[in-house]
Amino acid sequence: GTWAKIDYVVTYSFSNEGPDGVDAPAAGSTTVGATIAAPSTVAPAGWTLTWAVDGATKNDDGSYTAGAGDVEFVGTWAKDSYTITYYLSEQDKADGKVYDTQTVTFGDTIKVIADPEVDGKIFDAWDIDFPTTMPAENLEAVAIFTPIVVVFYDVWGDPIVDCTMEVVTEITDAD
């Protein structure tokens, strides 16, 4: 008698909704002991795709060896998370001194942190225009402040020359 190898079906599917326009690979066939290449679906920026397999064993090189039966690959999509790092000054950024951070999932609405407070300065803005939703990259923002300047005037209402100062602490009433 002669022996014939039995063909088994190799299928690919996704277990959840992923990015628009990305399809699972087409089904194929295999035989016992045959090498099956890892699924070739590439996840677009902002997404991670993880494959689970039933009916085959993963090899060290990332390929699979088919068992005695059908092989099923099931991909699961996950959105990536990115970090927004906030600094109070360019010097803080250069020194790696972080004021605050946020982790935001790709595509989610960005909720910018509360305006920072620094003695002697008024917060103006962040140095970047934040997008409405989180892009597929980390963001960095540096605070822009205006110093509070105190000018002293003489009794005639004229500024006293060379007598301006930057407020570095809050002035309070002694009472």
Residue-wise pLDDT for 13-26, tens only, equals 999 999 999 999 99
Residues 18 and 77 sit within 8 Å (Cβ to Cβ): yes
| pTM of the predicted model as reported, rounded to 2 decimal places | 0.76
pLDDT, residue 68, reads: 93
Q: For strands 56-58 and 47-54, give the pairing.
A: unpaired
Residue 154 — φ and ψ, nearest 5°? -80, 180
Q: Of residues 75 and 148, which shows the higher confidence score?
A: 75
CA 69/CA 154 separation, integer angstroms: 95
Mean pLDDT of 39-44: 91
pLDDT, residue 151, reads: 80
154 confidence band (pLDDT: 50, 70, 90): confident
pLDDT single digits (tens) 78-116? 999 999 999 999 999 999 999 999 999 999 999 999 999
Helix (H) or strand (E) holding 150: strand 149-153
Torsion of CA 77, 14, 62, 42, to 10 degrees: -60
pLDDT at 164 over 70: no
pLDDT, residue 130, reads: 97
pLDDT, residue 167, reads: 56
Ordered DSSP codes for 38-100: PP-PPPPTTEEEEEEEESEEE-TTS-EEE-SS-EEEEEEEEE-EEEEEEESSHHHHHHT--SE
